[in-house]
């Protein structure tokens, strides 16, 4: 099994070379330019940022000092002396000399004014279960108690890593803030990921403590989640990382719902252990601005996920500034971001951004269409949510299941966000007209796990909206589009290229955990011309997305240009999918490509060939491939199609032509195949794909 993986890794360079790549960006649809839509006067009148002078304040001549404006939204234990230290490019250091604590900034500092205000409102999926309202005072108590437990019972200290494998439950933000209080670096693994995927991340981050939960509700089912912890710990151990404590929250304290047994001396119920820590208070540690706050894993072009490491000072400043100006969060708002905290969107815009601004942040446990298509709008009505944030995938799903449902509920949104994938103008318009009732302003925010916060978006009260376009670079973000040779692709040229950011910004990741070389290579080597330069202007950040800039300066993001598929707003590496396929005994070769999907935007399709002697086993192997992918990665990676083909189209030098494989199901031009070693196989594959529908 392992041999196969290695073999696959070794093939990386050949499979991924430019002439054979099939990327999202290449299958992008080019929508026609849409007309501008203005934000309402009512919105503008109350907006946090309605001063057109902001672009002047954040113009390049004022960089990097302009970002003081964001850092000043925080409470510092010690003021910084250097706004941006560029001594070791591209490892930028923001606000050096400064000290602060993220937990203090999100909790303690609000107590004087807002202690009785809801910080979090947790909405369980079962509709008959009551909401759980956690005030700032209550959050303060819980965070302190869990922090004391982490320090004294789990024996964790500043700089140690801790892995969470938690779904959407209030214990997740409590765990994050409790860690941040002590400078323990948290690494939350999306709850829907498999135990194996969690184990890989535990090992990579070097965590010896795992925090999990017994179960949670999704689509009406009580999911057994603790079982994943046993798999994760085993996997991590095999990779050389022992886990000595598994801390288990219980969905209903005192009532264990998992089938997996508690391992003596390793597994502990938090609701039992915490009894020794009730009433305990932990002083928030003043930590250096550039100390890490958390790691968030994301997929890249190799099989190994990358741990994006985010700082305390830079990250928190950037999410504070963008939450205030782009999300327009005021303390009196009820803000609901329907993302999962297991992804960066949830970290930045459910937990850290809203709480740093003392907002009320709503968390929903389940899926927005459970038990029916009206659920999301009932929640909005009941809680009087006025800011709503979600992804095109959910918008498409809500439209499909209940196109007129929002009309039945009297909620009022002043502001809505779309994030994570390109949104079709048609879907945008439904969001605007039906969900937003033509009143809510919409921001289409483009950014990535690596970025900490939004990069391109309109400023809601200042800029006009354009369906299908993210908008200009945000204040202090200077995007540029380069062609393959580093030439600038001009605005309005109608040409697409690689979107880059010319400058560092406070939210940018600090490095890839444990792999600084990969960090430099992935994001900076492509367009850096002088490695010795200490001038940030020589280090454009390469985002890995194809984009076009219209003559008005609005960016339209086309999708990934690398071997990453954005499924329902979540990133999957084709290499991870292929590695999983290759662990199936019967599989000889595997190639994963993106295909268009009506709801998810893109979905993975997998092509496999069988080893000799397994002819006739196509059906069986297909099932095995699907279950292996779910087991190795998680349900979100389930391929839309598995095509068992007689052979892969290959160049004469043996490279798999993924471009051809992607073109077929997407009904795109296959291009010239006469130079292939086996052009005749293309027709056979076409027929197979047609049969599959």
Residues that bind ligand WT7 (CB under 6 A): 298, 344-345, 419-422, 444-449, 470, 543-545, 557, 559-560, 566, 569-571
The whole-angstrom separation of Cα 265 and Cα 378 is 44
Nearer to ligand WT7, 597 or 618 (CB): 597
Residue 557 sits at the vertex; the CA angle it makes with 555 and 561, to the nearest 5 degrees, is 135
The whole-angstrom separation of Cα 176 and Cα 199 is 19
Question: Nearest distance from residue 508's CB to ligand WT7, in Å?
Answer: 13
Question: Nearest distance from residue 497's CB to ligand WT7, in Å?
Answer: 14
Q: With CA atoms as reference, report the closest residue to 608 among 587, 580, 630, 624.
A: 587
Tokens of 559: 């999708």
Eight-state DSSP code of residue 36: P
Dihedral over alpha carbons 178, 180, 185, 187 (to 10 degrees)? 60
Question: Nearest distance from residue 296's CB to ligand WT7, in Å?
Answer: 9
The whole-angstrom separation of Cα 635 and Cα 502 is 37
Nearer to ligand WT7, 194 or 449 (CB): 449
Residue pair 133/170 in contact (Cβ under 8 Å)? The answer is no
Question: Nearest distance from residue 499's CB to ligand WT7, in Å?
Answer: 9
The whole-angstrom distance between residue 353's C-alpha and the CA centroid of its chain comes to: 15
The whole-angstrom separation of Cα 547 and Cα 596 is 18
The whole-angstrom separation of Cα 328 and Cα 59 is 21
Tokens of 415: 């502001």
Burial of 615 (0-12, 13-18, 19+ CB in 10 A): exposed
Show Cβ contacts of residue 458 under 8 Å, excluding neighbours closer than 6 positions: 443, 444, 464, 465, 466, 471, 472
Question: Nearest distance from residue 542's CB to ligand WT7, in Å?
Answer: 11
Question: Nearest distance from residue 421's CB to ligand WT7, in Å?
Answer: 5
The whole-angstrom separation of Cα 75 and Cα 102 is 9
Residue pair 110/73 in contact (Cβ under 8 Å)? The answer is no
Question: Nearest distance from residue 559's CB to ligand WT7, in Å?
Answer: 5
Question: Nearest distance from residue 76's CB to ligand WT7, in Å?
Answer: 27
Residue nearest ligand WT7, Cβ-based: 449
Q: How many residues does this entry show for the chain?
A: 693
Coil vs helix vs strand at 109: helix
Nearer to ligand WT7, 250 or 571 (CB): 571
Coil vs helix vs strand at 342: coil
Residue pair 450/509 in contact (Cβ under 8 Å)? The answer is yes
Nearer to ligand WT7, 239 or 464 (CB): 464
Tokens of 401: 């299941």
């Amino acid at each position: 099994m392992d041999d196969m993986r290695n073999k696959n890794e070794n093939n990386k360079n050949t499979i991924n070379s430019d002439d054979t790549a099939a990327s999202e960006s290449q299958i992008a649809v080019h929508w026609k330019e849409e007309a501008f839509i203005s934000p309402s006067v009512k919105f503008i009148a109350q907006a946090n940022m309605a001063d057109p002078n902001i672009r002047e304040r954040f113009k390049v001549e004022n960089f990097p000092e302009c970002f003081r404006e964001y850092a000043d939204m925080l409470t510092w234990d010690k003021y910084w002396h250097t706004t941006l230290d560029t001594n070791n490019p591209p490892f930028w250091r923001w606000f050096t000399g400064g000290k602060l604590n993220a937990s203090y900034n999100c909790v303690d500092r609000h107590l004087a004014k807002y202690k009785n205000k809801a910080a979090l409102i947790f909405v369980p999926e079962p509709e008959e279960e009551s909401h759980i309202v956690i005030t700032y005072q209550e959050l303060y108590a819980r965070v302190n108690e869990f922090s004391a437990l982490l320090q004294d019972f789990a024996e964790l200290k500043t700089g140690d890593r801790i892995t969470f494998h938690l779904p959407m439950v209030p214990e997740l933000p409590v765990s994050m803030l409790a860690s941040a209080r002590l400078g323990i670096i948290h690494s939350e693994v999306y709850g829907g990921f498999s135990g194996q995927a969690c184990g890989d991340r535990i090992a990579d981050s070097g965590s010896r403590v795992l925090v999990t939960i017994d179960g949670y509700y999704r689509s009406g089912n009580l999911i057994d989640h603790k079982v994943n912890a046993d798999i994760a710990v085993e996997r991590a151990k095999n990779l050389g990382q022992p886990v000595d404590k598994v801390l288990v929250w219980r969905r209903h304290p005192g009532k264990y719902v998992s089938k997996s047994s508690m391992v003596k001396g390793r597994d502990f119920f938090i609701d039992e252990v915490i009894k020794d820590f009730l009433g305990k208070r932990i002083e928030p540690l003043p930590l250096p601005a550039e100390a890490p706050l958390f790691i968030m894993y994301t997929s890249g072009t190799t099989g190994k996920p990358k741990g994006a490491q985010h700082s305390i000072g830079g990250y928190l400043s950037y999410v504070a500034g963008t939450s205030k100006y782009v999300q327009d969060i005021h303390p009196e708002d009820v803000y609901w971001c329907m993302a999962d905290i297991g992804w960066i969107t949830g970290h930045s815009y459910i937990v850290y951004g809203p709480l740093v601004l003392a907002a009320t942040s709503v968390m929903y446990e389940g899926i927005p269409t459970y038990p029916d298509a009206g659920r999301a709008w009932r929640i909005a009505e009941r809680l009087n949510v006025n800011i709503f944030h979600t992804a095109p995938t959910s918008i498409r799903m809500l439209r499909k299941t209940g196109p007129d449902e929002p009309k039945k509920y009297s909620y009022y949104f002043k502001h809505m966000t779309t994030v994570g994938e390109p949104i079709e103008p048609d879907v945008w318009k439904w969001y605007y007209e039906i969900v937003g009732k033509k009143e809510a302003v919409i921001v289409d925010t483009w950014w990535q796990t690596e970025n900490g916060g939004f990069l391109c978006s309109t400023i809601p009260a200042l800029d006009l909206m354009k369906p299908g376009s993210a908008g200009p670079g945000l204040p202090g973000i200077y995007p540029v589009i380069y062609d393959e040779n580093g030439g600038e692709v001009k605005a309005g040229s109608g040409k697409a290229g690689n979107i880059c950011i010319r400058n560092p910004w406070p939210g940018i990741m600090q490095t890839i955990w444990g792999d600084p070389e990969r960090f430099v290579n992935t994001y900076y080597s492509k367009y850096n011309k002088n490695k010795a330069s200490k001038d940030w202007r020589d280090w454009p950040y390469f985002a890995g997305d194809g984009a076009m800039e219209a003559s008005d300066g609005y960016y339209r993001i086309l999708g990934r240009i690398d071997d990453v598929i954005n499924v329902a707003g979540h990133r999957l590496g084709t290499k991870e999918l292929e590695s999983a396929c290759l662990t199936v005994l019967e599989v000889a070769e595997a190639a994963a490509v993106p295909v268009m999907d009506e709801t998810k935007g893109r979905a993975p399709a997998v092509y496999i060939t069988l080893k000799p002697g397994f002819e006739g086993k196509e059906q069986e192997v297909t099932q095995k491939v699907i279950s292996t992918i779910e087991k190795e990665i998680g349900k979100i990676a389930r391929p839309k199609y598995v095509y068992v083909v007689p052979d892969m189209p290959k160049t004469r030098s043996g490279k798999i032509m993924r471009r051809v494989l992607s073109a077929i199901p997407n009904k795109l031009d296959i291009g010239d195949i006469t130079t292939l070693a086996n052009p005749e196989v293309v027709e056979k594959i076409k027929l197979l794909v047609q049969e599959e529908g």
